[in-house]
Amino acid sequence: MEHIAALLLVIGCTNSMAECRELQVPVSVFATADECTAERPFAMSDVQGQAQHVVAKCLPVDPALEDDYDQIVWNVRPDGSLDASLAISGPVMASNAARPEKDYLSQQ
C-alpha cells in the first residue's frame, strides 16, 4: 500500500471571506510534501474561476495515523489566511475490522 505524505486542501471564498467552501481538484493526495507543494499553484489555477478568492494548503499526513484521519478541520480568516489540519473525530482503536470510507472533504 502506498502511503500518503500530504493532502492538498483548496478553499474558495467570496471577496468578503464571509462564505467559503472546499473546491475539488484533480489530484489531492501526494506521496511527498514536495510533490504537494509543487502542485499547489497549478491546482489553484485550475479552480480560479470557481471562487473570487482561492487559498490552498498542503497538510502533512502522519503515516502512523493515515488510516485514522477522518476529517479536515479548516477556517479561513478575514485576512485570507487558511488554518487547516487533519483530525480524528473519535477514539483510535486497534482493529482488523473494515473501516468506513473516509470523508476527507468535510468542514467543521
- What pLDDT digit, counting tens, does each position of 9-65 carry? 999 999 888 899 999 999 999 999 999 999 999 999 999 899 999 999 999 988 878
Residue type, 96: N
pLDDT of residue 68: 85
Q: Is residue 97 part of a domain?
A: no
Q: Is residue 11 part of a domain?
A: yes
Q: Give 107's DSSP letter.
A: -
Q: Is residue 107 part of a domain?
A: no
Compute the distance between CA of residue 49 and CA of residue 29 in angstroms, rounded to an integer: 22
Question: pLDDT tens, 53-106?
Answer: 999 999 998 887 878 888 899 999 988 899 999 988 865 444 333 334 444 444
pLDDT of residue 18: 87
Q: Is residue 39 part of a domain?
A: yes
Total number of domains constituting the chain = 1
| pTM score, whole prediction | 0.76
3-state secondary structure of 49: helix
Range of the domain at 55: 6-87
Radius of gyration of the chain (CA): 15
pLDDT of residue 19: 93
Compute the distance between CA of residue 23 and CA of residue 5 in angstroms, rounded to an integer: 20
Q: Is residue 43 part of a domain?
A: yes
Q: Is residue 106 part of a domain?
A: no
Q: Is residue 37 part of a domain?
A: yes
Say if residues 5 and 61 touch (Cβ distance below 8 Å).
yes
Q: Is residue 102 part of a domain?
A: no
